[in-house]
Chain A
Amino acid sequence: MSIVYAFVAAGLVGCGLYMVLSRHIVRMVLGLSLLTTAVNLVLFQAGRIRTAQPPLIVDGAERLGESADPVPQALVLTAIVIGFALTVILAALALRAWRGHGTLRSDELHSARDLGNPLASGPDVDH
């Protein structure tokens, strides 16, 4: 079971990285959200995949027995929320870029690069 999870996570990371390298911002955003999903799978697996027993230590025992470690599951919940929030912010920025620049290709977005560019001719007056 673990090996299946590992391969799924690896596949997601591969797809995510491929999409992040795209010049299209929306594809990049989707790639980043795929990556965060893949990371969540890795975190989930750090707690091991065990039986569905509740994670309670039996009286007198020192170890957690057969159930999965609950801490990574709490971490995954936090990571999902954070990843979602950042994806939303990035999507909002992409929307503003579309409205302001009329393009979503990162090689056609160059207003930050042009600001104070030493290779541009002459001093820029609008700072």
Chain B
Amino acid sequence: MITDTLVNGLATWPVVIPLGAAAVTLLVRRWAALQRGVMEAAVVAMVGSAALLLVRTTSNGTIVMKFGGWDRPFGVTFVADVLSATLCVAAGIVALAVAIFARADVRARRRRAGFDPLFLGMLAAVNGAFLTGDLFNLYVWFELMLVTALGLVTLDRRRAQIDGAIRYAAMSMMGATFMLVGIGLLYGEAGTLDLMHLSTTLAGRVPSVTSSVAAYLLLAGLVLKAGIFPLFFWLPASYHTAPISVAAALAGLLTKVAFYACLRVFVVVFGVGTGTAVVSGLPPLFALLAAATMLVSVLAAIAQVDVRRLLAFHIVGQVAYLMMGLALASEQGNAAAIFYTVHTMLVQTGLFLGAGAIARAAGGYDLRALGGLIREHPRFSVLFAVLALSISGVPPLSGFWAKALVIDAAFRSGTSGAGWLVAAALVTGFLTLYSMSVLWTQAFWRPRTREGHTARQIPTAMVAGVALLAACTLGLGVAIEPAVRLSRVAAIQLRSGATMPNGVTSVGTARTLR
């Protein structure tokens, strides 16, 4: 009985640990060192619990935690399947790298301003969104993510940060409003909010106007939060104003959580590509959005001269590849998107942390003023090159496999227009390589622009944070076999809705309310 509770409770640990630690860090706010210690311990414990969760879900199957003992679909549940657990582990690694990097970047003043509790609160929200099995609960985690992210962006209270945060907050609130109307309409239609039960309820229905409107409203909200083409402009308008540790955490986590929600909502609830599509015409729309996002964002990235703004546009471009995996509406497409999500979480954060280290060494983010860093920092320049090559898709790094899997899935899916999508993906990949080469050569390779100005030391903590993520992308690229197998298992579970634990045979017929 007690072991049962502990095992089922395991699904809540990645949320409970950071949330509890956030409360503790608030209590010890006066002692910056203690606060930092609590935050770091909590992040390590969170990574541990996520890894444990991944081991358990791969060996014993899905874990379902029912709050208050209410059976599905009446209560709120946490459902930890392979997909959720994998993403929790990736988020944990990202958090760990940021926590290490923050030792050198986030000083006592920022810690007093509340870096630790806000960071932990955001991690709890991210893991909560990954683990929840309830649509409204997902919305609540999104809002917690937004609130904590706003606090983190405005940590220094600079004018640019306030300006950026207003843009970010206004757009995200609009997105949340769209999502919430969609959720409300869906509840009115199906009488449930449990993701699994929504799927079974809607599957047998004749497509109705309500469910179509709900699907498009949810799409608008999630696409806004994921930073997809017509609605991504808030992202490069705000991320570059944040302290660099914060920007790195946001870059690695938030847009990917929104894409994860897209996967759950559109594959599980609306049955995109599972043969029980509730709303028709979604995959071509996804493909259009993905292609437009890729091309627009990479062209915008090439025009940038500020490293942070350049990388912010690349976040958008990489999310478009995830969208492409979803647009293929096939098992391989979903598996590729899942692998790509893990890859891009690690690499985006690594690049932003690398940008922070560059700025520490050279005194600024402006590419026109950078140069010659390879002389003082040869090892760091190799680390940064690994991440830059990974995002551009050079073998044997994980970025190559991620792109190869998505493009392979596109050819196999046989959907009309897949060729165009692949062309857009390849052109974007090439332009990304160009953009990253320019960044690397201008920062490291070319002669110093300002004579007599020597680069400063990069603290060990900064290099360690970047090195952790560079090692991860290299490791993921070398150990490609098990990683691909894991992402396939995750995709199969996602699509078959095999989230039923051993004890629960079916969701059962819910009490129909009308």
Contact = CB atoms under 8 A, between A and B. Distances in A.
B364 A127 contact: yes
A48 B512 CA distance: 13
Contacts of B184: 39, 42-43, 45-46, 72, 75
Interface residues of A, number: 50
B145 to A, nearest CB: 12
B187 to A, nearest CB: 5
B511 A114 contact: no
Main secondary structure of the interface of A (DSSP, over half): helix
B160 A111 contact: yes
A57 interface: yes
Interface in A7-30: 20, 25, 28
B240 interface: yes
A115 B513 contact: no
A123 B364 contact: yes
A124 B366 contact: yes
Main secondary structure of the interface of B (DSSP, over half): helix
A75 B167 CA distance: 27
A56 interface: no
A20 B167 contact: no
B143 A64 contact: no
Interface string B155-192: 00111111111110110011011001101110110010
A97 B193 CA distance: 39
Nearest to A94: B166
Contacts of A90: 166, 169-170, 173
B201 to A, nearest CB: 14
Contact of A93 (B150, B359, B369, B512): B150
B177 A69 contact: no
A86 B146 contact: yes
Contact of A112 (B174, B237, B368): B237
A127 B359 contact: yes
Give 7 closest A-B pairs by Cβ, nearest first: A116-B306, A46-B188, A112-B164, A112-B163, A123-B366, A43-B184, A123-B369
Given A39-B177, A94-B166, 5 more contacts: A63-B513, A72-B187, A112-B237, A117-B306, A127-B366
